[in-house]
Structure 1
Amino acid sequence: MTKPVNQPTAPPATSPRLFHVDNLRTALMALVVIHHSAIGYSNIPRWYYTEPPADPTGTLLDILLLLNQAFFMGAFFLISGLFVPGSYDRKRAAPFLRERLLRLGVPLLLWLLVIRPLATVGRYATAVDAAARQGTELPYWQYYLLSFTPGPMWFVEVLLVFSALYVLWRRLAVQDRRPSTSATVTGRAPGAVAIVGFAIGLALVTYLWRIVVPMGVSVLGLPTPAYLPQYAALFTVGLIAARRGWLEGLSRTAGRIGFATAALAAVGLVLDLVLAGEAILGHGTLPSLVAATCETALAVGIMLGLLVLFRERLGHQGRRRRFLSTHAFTVYVIHPAVLVALGYALRDVQAPAVAKFALLTVLGLPLCWAAAYVVRALPGARKVL
């Protein structure tokens, strides 16, 4: 859009660094590593290295995965939404999209061309042996295409789509035709009625969505499409919160109520799973409605609690937290290769599933950040990671 001649344009205001949000993102990144460490020893064999549990503790890991999945990726989308409006204001449409493609597209290519082959080398060897027993050959390119999924980088793909939709909305919106001003204001956070109304609406939409896309189904390579309503809703909440200053307006009482609600919802979700089993997955069942309601309450409640907790207690960064935050996204990109390598290294260890998960987590977390440090030290890596 051409600017009017001789009309002054105020520069976009720069917001102070939200260290508590950076620290929260680091904690969520650790949860990603923990989550994928648990999958390998659970009854949900959706990882690049798996050991089917031979003892009941595998069920504990299933419950951990169910509870974690209810909120942690939605939290990433909310945090991502917080930074989009300011970035767009500073760059405008075309530079913003170029920056998104650089910072998200290049790591996606790195995953597809380097990390995924490393993470799947063991599975490929197994597939080659199986093909040989049948008297056939399986070249790697064929295995790569037949087994293709974006892996954990599905998040990057969806975030690129959400970012593009935001740009489209801004280009069509009246506000984007005016000179940029300081759009971020410090205001009151939504009240209890608004939050509860949002949660009820999201739970209902999630329930209806899962009639068509139940939990456990993969669509276009997305491992958790049943949670797409939550991802889109929380990304939108992040966009609005950034404009209206909701983070600073959240009260400590809201945080405490959020944690209490999340705890009750977690109990309800586990009971629903125990009593109804696979009926919670979707298809319009009553247990599916209960699961969608409990998941939404858990997600909204724990996000309120975490945002307040990190703002009040973890709002500063020293050298250690800055290091963890700086390398967090690189950990997201490379952690599958690290965890798979550790999984094979520990495969001869005889221990209950939950114990092997704990061992993998204790070793994997520091090794992931150490590997991220090495990767970011490579020439040009810091421009995209």
Structure 2
Amino acid sequence: MKREGRSLVWLCTTISVLLFAEGIWRLADPGVGVDNVASSSFQGANFILFCVFGLCCLYWPEKPAPSASKDEEPAAGEKGVVGLDVETPAANGEGAERCKEEDAPGAKPPKRQITYLTNLKTFLTFIVVTHHTVGQFTRPVGAGLSTVAANFLSPDLQPKSSFLTGGSWFQSVDQAYFMATFFFISAYFCPRSLDRKGFKKFVIDKIVRLGGPFVLYSAFLGPLLFLMCQAYAGQPLSYSYNTGPTWFILWLLNFSIAYAVIAQFAPTLKLGMPHPFVLLAIGAALCGVFYGMTVALGGSAYAPTAWNYFGSMVFWAYGLAMYIPFFAAGVLAGRNDWLKGVEEMQTWVAWTLRVVCVGFWTLVFLMTAEYAIPIPSIEAKQWELVMNLIPPVYAVAMTLAIMQLFHQYFNAQSSLMRWAGPTAYIVYAIHFWPMNLVMITFIEIIKAAGVPVVFEGLVFFSTTADGERSLLPEACIWGGWVMLFVLTQLVVWPLGFYARKAPVLDMMF
């Protein structure tokens, strides 16, 4: 145990120092485009503050407890300090833990199974990987090499792409809820973790479990991945800061430490779970915040403007109107056991939520179907208005519906899910690497088949007989996506399973 304690101190110290170094890097090299000076300066200060929190919690002297009892918290490095005991893993990176709730102090109610949260986290991680494989063929994205299924080269040409229709629909219905759900599930376990570990151990746990994977990707794996993609595409080489999917881990670390600080002086709020329809009404109110932020940040929730990505947040309309409220709701849910309300939800309420979700899916399909199916009266402005309004209320309905669905049907752990559950966090963090290696393989296959390929940045196109850029054939796009989806999923899960057993990684993941 002493050796484990020393290892934890060494690891947390190293991660804290690396966060400080990354903060200095952000201050010295602010980058360009959406990575502006203000954003980089904010991040520099953010990372240095993480370092201060980590080192102070490790080395700040504290008075020894007057007496020790058998029920006392384990010392640093022992089981329970780094979140390996009772916290159910969310796709944020909380590691693999038991799938039963711990009894509250002083009471011994029957333990109830919350395996469904582990299964939900694993499923959502699978969806995240799928989401990014689809994105490689629908629009230029920040995930490495990509092509596009839409003819954006000329505004006068209306693309007729079945892949764009299906892919845009899938990404739209995902983007509007799944990261908010991740924040909610992650926050649910924060109150119990903070109560059990205390402020110092809680912060040390977060620095190791969240700060470590973030530094690993943003300072090393992410820059190296884009360096490889730039070299392959024949583009100018640059080793630059890149958060990739770990932007979520960064902001989860921010929210978690902010909660721990606030909890030291704020009174505990006792609030039973509101009726699901009341939560829907709150979601509807947040739609106004979402729309206002969208207009302020460029007229689209996905506008590639500097302020929309400030501090590596991916879309601040989502951040203010969904991610912060959902994290706060997760804390309230954890403190007041809202899961019981979800588990005991009346059948008619559950089916109403499901119908609401399907209604949103249908609405989004009608908005995206214009790319391949001529539908009168559907215009781009109407599509933008809908997608600039509905995400918060849809996210509330979807989160409640999918949690209830998994409790009802997926509250047991099969051998496959028992293997995949602990792996989901590292899969989330590293899946861009196998995805881009498969993408390179696909490009080499179509080049060998005689399809000429040209690059503009990291976006690739085929060319016409006169050398002009053109889109890949529809069959080629569908075939490429199927290859990318299948091989990425087949590679990244076993890779993650064995990688998290490596020294150091086994303490972070």
Indicate whether the TM-score tops 0.5.
yes
1:26 aligns with 2:112: no
Instruction: Determine which of 180, 190, 198 is the counterpart of 1:92.
Output: 198
Contact 1:42 1:59 in 2 (8 A): no
Q: Structure 1 pair 97/188, CA: closer, same or farther in 2 (3 Å)?
A: closer
Match of residue 69 from structure 1: 175
Q: CA deviation at 1:2?
A: 9.6
Q: Structure 1 pair 295/99, CA: closer, same or farther in 2 (3 Å)?
A: same
Contact 1:338 1:364 in 2 (8 A): yes
1:49 aligns with 2:145: yes
Counterpart of 2:310, as a letter, is: V
Q: Structure 1 pair 130/336, CA: closer, same or farther in 2 (3 Å)?
A: closer
Aligned equivalents of 1:353 and 1:254: distance in 2? 41
The 10-residue stretch of structure 1 (355-364 or 73-82) with the greater mean CA deviation from structure 2: 355-364
Deviations 1:157-192 (A, max 9, x none): 11011112211220121349xxxxxx9xxx964214
Instruction: Determine which of 350, 354, 360 is the counterpart of 1:265.
Output: 360
Counterpart of 2:362, as a letter, is: V
Q: CA deviation at 1:104?
A: 0.5
Give the TM-score taking structure 2 as reference length: 0.64
Contact 1:20 1:316 in 2 (8 A): yes
Instruction: Determine which of 380, 384, 397 is the counterpart of 1:301.
Output: 397
The residue correspondences of 1:250-329 to structure 2 (distance < 5 A) are 250=342, 251=345, 252-272=347-367, 274=370, 275-277=378-380, 287=385, 290-329=386-425
Aligned equivalents of 1:279 and 1:43: distance in 2? 20
Q: CA deviation at 1:248?
A: 2.0
Contact 2:140 2:147 in 1 (8 A): no
Aligned equivalents of 1:356 and 1:294: distance in 2? 32
Instruction: Determine which of 240, 255, 258 is the counterpart of 2:332.
Output: 240
Aligned equivalents of 2:400 and 2:64: distance in 1? 40
Instruction: Determine which of 212, 226, 229 is the counterpart of 1:123.
Output: 229
Counterpart of 2:318, as a letter, is: Y
Q: CA deviation at 1:222?
A: 2.8
1:14 aligns with 2:117: no
1:334 aligns with 2:430: yes
Match of residue 231 from structure 1: 323
Match of residue 163 from structure 1: 256
Aligned equivalents of 1:130 and 1:377: distance in 2? 36
Deviations 1:294-335 (A, max 9, x none): 222321122111111111111111332111110000101111
Match of residue 50 from structure 2: none
Aligned equivalents of 1:221 and 1:5: distance in 2? 45
Contact 1:327 1:372 in 2 (8 A): yes
Q: CA deviation at 1:114?
A: 3.5
Aligned equivalents of 1:315 and 1:66: distance in 2? 28
The residue correspondences of 1:174-213 to structure 2 (distance < 5 A) are 174-175=267-268, 189-213=273-297
Aligned equivalents of 1:194 and 1:171: distance in 2? 29
Where 1:172 maps in the other structure, the secondary structure is: coil
Q: Structure 1 pair 329/90, CA: closer, same or farther in 2 (3 Å)?
A: same
Contact 1:265 1:295 in 2 (8 A): no
The residue correspondences of 1:101-120 to structure 2 (distance < 5 A) are 101-120=207-226
Match of residue 188 from structure 2: 82
The 10-residue stretch of structure 1 (356-365 or 89-98) with the greater mean CA deviation from structure 2: 356-365
The 10-residue stretch of structure 1 (22-31 or 267-276) with the greater mean CA deviation from structure 2: 267-276
Counterpart of 2:262, as a letter, is: W
Q: Structure 1 pair 345/172, CA: closer, same or farther in 2 (3 Å)?
A: same
Aligned equivalents of 1:266 and 1:307: distance in 2? 18
Give the TM-score taking structure 1 as reference length: 0.83
Counterpart of 2:327, as a letter, is: F
Deviation >6 Å, runs of 4+: 1-6, 10-13
- Please list every run of 5 or more consecutive structure 1 residues that lacks an aligned counterpart in the other structure: 132-137, 177-182, 282-286
Aligned equivalents of 1:64 and 1:108: distance in 2? 27
Q: Structure 1 pair 366/278, CA: closer, same or farther in 2 (3 Å)?
A: farther
Where 2:102 maps in the other structure, the secondary structure is: coil
Deviations 1:180-239 (A, max 9, x none): xxx9xxx96421442232111211111112122242233333333221121111111111
Where 1:257 maps in the other structure, the secondary structure is: helix
Aligned equivalents of 2:239 and 2:379: distance in 1? 37
Q: Structure 1 pair 361/165, CA: closer, same or farther in 2 (3 Å)?
A: same
Contact 1:204 1:292 in 2 (8 A): no
The 10-residue stretch of structure 1 (348-357 or 154-163) with the greater mean CA deviation from structure 2: 348-357
Q: CA deviation at 1:126?
A: 5.5
Q: Structure 1 pair 175/302, CA: closer, same or farther in 2 (3 Å)?
A: closer
1:362 aligns with 2:486: yes
Contact 1:339 1:360 in 2 (8 A): yes
Q: Structure 1 pair 277/45, CA: closer, same or farther in 2 (3 Å)?
A: farther
Match of residue 284 from structure 1: none
Higher Cα radius of gyration? 2
Match of residue 87 from structure 2: none
Deviations 1:6-57 (A, max 9, x none): 9x9x989934562110100000000110011011111343320102237712
Aligned equivalents of 2:139 and 2:120: distance in 1? 29
Where 2:254 maps in the other structure, the secondary structure is: helix
1:215 aligns with 2:301: yes
Q: Structure 1 pair 373/192, CA: closer, same or farther in 2 (3 Å)?
A: closer
Counterpart of 1:302, as a letter, is: M
Counterpart of 1:373, as a letter, is: F
Q: Structure 1 pair 352/58, CA: closer, same or farther in 2 (3 Å)?
A: farther
Aligned equivalents of 1:222 and 1:378: distance in 2? 30
Q: Structure 1 pair 378/39, CA: closer, same or farther in 2 (3 Å)?
A: same
Deviations 1:117-161 (A, max 9, x none): 44213432167x445xxxxxx5xxxx123xx33111100111011
Counterpart of 1:152, as a letter, is: P
